[in-house]
Structure 1
Amino acid sequence: MNFNNVRVTNRTEQTGSKEMLKIVQWRRALQYAAAFTAALTFLMAGTFASWTSPTLPKLEEVHSHIPITRDQGSWIVSLLGVGGILAPLPAGYLVNKYGRRPLLIFSALPFLLAWLLIIFARSAVDLMVSRTVCGLGAGIAFAVCPIYLGEIAEDSVRGILGTLMQLMMNLGSMFEYSLGPYVSYTTLGVLSSVFPVVFLVLMFFMPESPYFLLMQDRRDEAEIALMRLRGQTDRQHIQEELARIQNVLAEQMKEESRPRDLIATRGTRRALVIMIGLILIQQFGGIMAILSNAQDVFEITPGSSLSSSECAIVVGGIQTLASISTSSLVDRLGRRPLLLTSTFGCAASLVVMGAYQYIHLKTDMDTAAYDWLPLLCLVVFLVTYSLGIGPLPIAMMGEMFPSNVKGVALSIGAMLLSFCFVLVTKLYQVAVDGLGAYFTFWFFAGVSTVGIFFVFFLVPETKGKSLGNIVLELNGAKPEKHVGRTGDQQSVFTIST
């Protein structure tokens, strides 16, 4: 045997595989573009959520053009969540009636109106109204965007595309942190209002979800949309994927969506418990309290020669880079390892942060030599949060539910997110003022500690699995994987009794 020829052949095959991978990635360009565009709704939510961090300190100054009290400021922060409580339920109903794409387009209108209200605001009440209006757009986006991303994505890249939502939210926060301290109130509002306009233009060219089109018996349109998303001209391949989707939908859409269907099967009950648990761990882990009050957090966090606004910029940048890392790791390592690492890192960093604050505020011990520790803890917290418990709960919400209850389930999830946001952001300052920053950080750490055990015992791995297979596994199915001629994984299931 000529072993030199074997080596040449292997190298040729490897080169051919790399070229084929590049071609496949290029063909997926519209799939990535559609996911990126839809995730801009989270960027818009991120700009609004973090707008208060650089802006409220200016408005609370003596000569502010819109004078506000500290209590009014806390309401301005938390009222974003009120709109988010009101919007998701109707959105969850309409998403199966009018489609994912139209609702995402509609969600940009409250964002745009809210920025106009902020630009022309003359009182604290105007700001409160604007935040509530923005919450309507955020509530729709949080309920619909995970569904859209989950349904347009191939199994092999669904995790990556799902993490775009948190990445975009971090970019929105970074935008506000970076510009807010250095431009005027009006300029920041005008610049921030550009994002809804850009989104409206781009989303007009994006396809509808093939799942929704098949649900409406619009098979020809579903085929065209899928061909565009997959970059495929081979109709046989597209027809095979459409047939798999239609089989899944036929099983899942036997009955119309009703709220009681969320607890009708073992799979939906498990999915509901997992969704609620991950949301509570995410929100009561303290992230929105810290992001919405970032500059105030740094005011009570010594240890840097930078100003509080500069520290917020640095941490926002680090959080964005961590989100990019998550996008590259989620479909390699899986959801569970990242969630476990994330909750452990959040818990550990906040325990240390609370201990430092307690020693610094309640004892006579000189902590000057350790003033670098709080900033390090906040960086570790935000990095580990962005690795798992930040992006993955929202991404997994779009994976776990069957199509007939997905809209209702995600609307409940979005409402719970908004309710927790209101509760945490409103009570954060009360807790810091009344109980001390150390107690608040320890509470957040306790929630993350509970999260470690919750993920370990209850959260399944969804990496590389189709949406239909995930639903079946939650119902107790046992997969037998086979590799087809195209290299795609297909599964045959037997339901365990």
Structure 2
Amino acid sequence: MSFEIQRGTFSRRLPQFVAAGSAALGALALGTVAGWTSTSLPDMKLEPEFIHVSNESFSWVGSIAPIGACVSGPLSGFLLGVIGRKGTMLLISPLFVLGWLLIGFATSIDMVYAGRFLTGVGGGTFSLVVPCYVSECSESCIRGTLGSALQLMINFGVLIAFTVGYFVNWSTLAFVSSSIPVIVCGLMLLMPESPRYLLMKKNKVAASKALQWLRGATSHEEVMEELNLVQAAIEDDNGVTFRDYLSPCILKPVTISLALMLYQQWNGNNAVIFYTVQIFQAAGSSLNPNIATIIVGAIQVIASIVAAALMDKAGRRILLLVSGVSMTIALAVMGGFFQMKEDLMDIDDLGWLPLLCLVVFIVGFSLGFGPIAWLLAGEILPSKVRGIASALATSFNWFNAFVVTKAFDNIQLSIGIQWCFWIFAIITVFANAYVYVCVPETRGKTLEEIQMLFVPRKTYS
């Protein structure tokens, strides 16, 4: 009997998994953008067309994608409100494909720059739209699991880039990557628009149909009851003013979202992913750098699956705290390894240590700060400012990604790679303290209940 109930519950919720999975393929495309540089840059430097290009110019190949993602924030925030969540994904996918084709056919470094910028715009847009779409289409009891799909698919995209890049050259990898936005576009044509967005556009009939599709066998009465609750929340959100932005119910969640985006980047994850092969080469590890990179990517995917399973069981806060502690330890030890290498100490027996540190770091990131920064942005930002606030958070995230990836290259050249890891470790300590003091638990709460967490409690004399 219990099995039948569980099976019935799963089949009823299957449309939500399908919709979330289709949208999350956009995050898979973003993952290939992040993973492409690690295997492709060493390969590209050997090509006759690029052999004259300086290391400084090559460093911009990694850094320019976050610039594109940063620019995408205001654009996608505007599009979210004008053409919807689904419409934005459909519009941006062809631009994503164009970026990859420019890279694949590149005969100059400028074409690569242009392609990386456009793929950055596409990836940045998906990083904003996917959490918004998933959170608005999901029931509260599975929203954490479905929201974790963003980081899972990013990590899977990184693994695809690492693995395919081991067997093919940089241009072929670009062509392979271009197929993913095409698939996203095809699948999203079959998915409904966010019911919340349709209600915001006063299209209750379409919103009812969309929510009925997403809720499967749920009765029409239950669907209408949920729809009315969402409608009431939207009506309560209308008429936002500048003064409202300074109120605690908006300022607090926006501040938390920005802080998590800041800490997500300044723990060094993007720098590590962009330059994984180069890190192993610098470490002088006995392992083949490309094989070690694939191992790291595979473990990252496994950790993301575990995180998705734990998200609605353990909760957001505990996963963030475990994430921060494990990353701090891994970063500090990695810095120590490179310091010993610089001091010419005997580290022949420690060739395994860089891989272990990166595995611990990646697992920690994938359990907490990776998925939860984006998940919480979709959960805690009030619906009346979600478009603007999400755009701000996305641009802020990717601006910091650009600074971190560029700084990583410059710091390791000027004062040593060990200081990169130590700086990231120190910042992650502050991140953990911030989570412990400021970040609320949202597990199991509806979006409307989460908003109430930030409403000041009345005091009575």
Q: TM-score, length-normalised on structure 2?
A: 0.96
- In the alignment, residue 455 of structure 2 is paired with which amino acid? N
1:457 aligns with 2:437: yes
Find the counterpart in structure 2 of residue 146 from structure 1: 131
Aligned residues: 459
Equivalence map 1:110-121=2 (5 Å) = 110-121=95-106
Q: Which runs of 5+ in 2 are unaligned?
A: none
1:292 and 1:432 map into 2 onto residues whose CA distance is 14
1:82 and 1:187 map into 2 onto residues whose CA distance is 24
Find the counterpart in structure 2 of residue 280 from structure 1: 262
Structure 1 counterpart of 2:301, from 310, 314, 320: 320
1:395 aligns with 2:354: no
1:81 and 1:416 map into 2 onto residues whose CA distance is 10
Find the counterpart in structure 1 of residue 11 from structure 2: 26
Find the counterpart in structure 2 of residue 267 from structure 1: 249
Shift of 1:65: 3.8
- In the alignment, residue 359 of structure 2 is paired with which amino acid? V
CA contact (8 A) 2:43 2:169 kept: no
Shift of 1:262: 6.6
CA contact (8 A) 1:262 1:268 kept: yes
1:202 and 1:449 map into 2 onto residues whose CA distance is 41
Equivalence map 1:122-133=2 (5 Å) = 122-133=107-118
Find the counterpart in structure 1 of residue 50 from structure 2: 66
2:7 and 2:124 map into 1 onto residues whose CA distance is 37
1:280 and 1:71 map into 2 onto residues whose CA distance is 25
Equivalence map 1:437-452=2 (5 Å) = 437-452=417-432
Equivalence map 1:181-220=2 (5 Å) = 181-220=166-205
1:308 and 1:262 map into 2 onto residues whose CA distance is 52
Shift of 1:140: 1.8
Find the counterpart in structure 2 of residue 492 from structure 1: none
Find the counterpart in structure 2 of residue 333 from structure 1: 314
1:251 aligns with 2:231: no
- Alignment identity in percent? 34
Deviations 1:2-27 (A, max 9, x none): xxxxxxxxxxxxxx233112111112
Shift of 1:397: 0.2
Deviations 1:85-141 (A, max 9, x none): 222113212312221110011121221000110121110010001111112212222
1:444 and 1:26 map into 2 onto residues whose CA distance is 44
Shift of 1:476: 3.5
Find the counterpart in structure 2 of residue 421 from structure 1: 401
CA contact (8 A) 2:72 2:121 kept: yes
CA contact (8 A) 2:37 2:274 kept: yes
2:31 and 2:244 map into 1 onto residues whose CA distance is 30
Shift of 1:217: 1.4
1:88 aligns with 2:73: yes
Shift of 1:335: 0.1
CA contact (8 A) 2:33 2:123 kept: no
Find the counterpart in structure 2 of residue 373 from structure 1: 353
- In the alignment, residue 111 of structure 1 is paired with which amino acid? F
- In the alignment, residue 83 of structure 1 is paired with which amino acid? G
Q: TM-score, length-normalised on structure 1?
A: 0.90
Structure 1 counterpart of 2:282, from 283, 295, 300: 300
CA contact (8 A) 1:302 1:375 kept: no
- In the alignment, residue 13 of structure 2 is paired with which amino acid? R
1:171 and 1:496 map into 2 onto residues whose CA distance is 49
Larger radius of gyration: 1
Structure 2 counterpart of 1:77, from 62, 68, 74: 62
2:205 and 2:50 map into 1 onto residues whose CA distance is 55
The 3-state SS of whatever aligns with 1:139 is: helix
Equivalence map 1:346-385=2 (5 Å) = 346-362=327-343, 364-385=344-365
Shift of 1:64: 3.5
1:225 aligns with 2:206: no
1:409 aligns with 2:379: no
Deviations 1:168-190 (A, max 9, x none): 11111101100112113332222
1:289 aligns with 2:289: no
1:190 and 1:170 map into 2 onto residues whose CA distance is 19
2:244 and 2:419 map into 1 onto residues whose CA distance is 37
Q: Which has the higher helix share?
A: 2
- In the alignment, residue 351 of structure 1 is paired with which amino acid? A
CA contact (8 A) 2:287 2:351 kept: no
Find the counterpart in structure 1 of residue 40 from structure 2: 55
Deviations 1:27-70 (A, max 9, x none): 21111111011111111111012111111101112x44433321
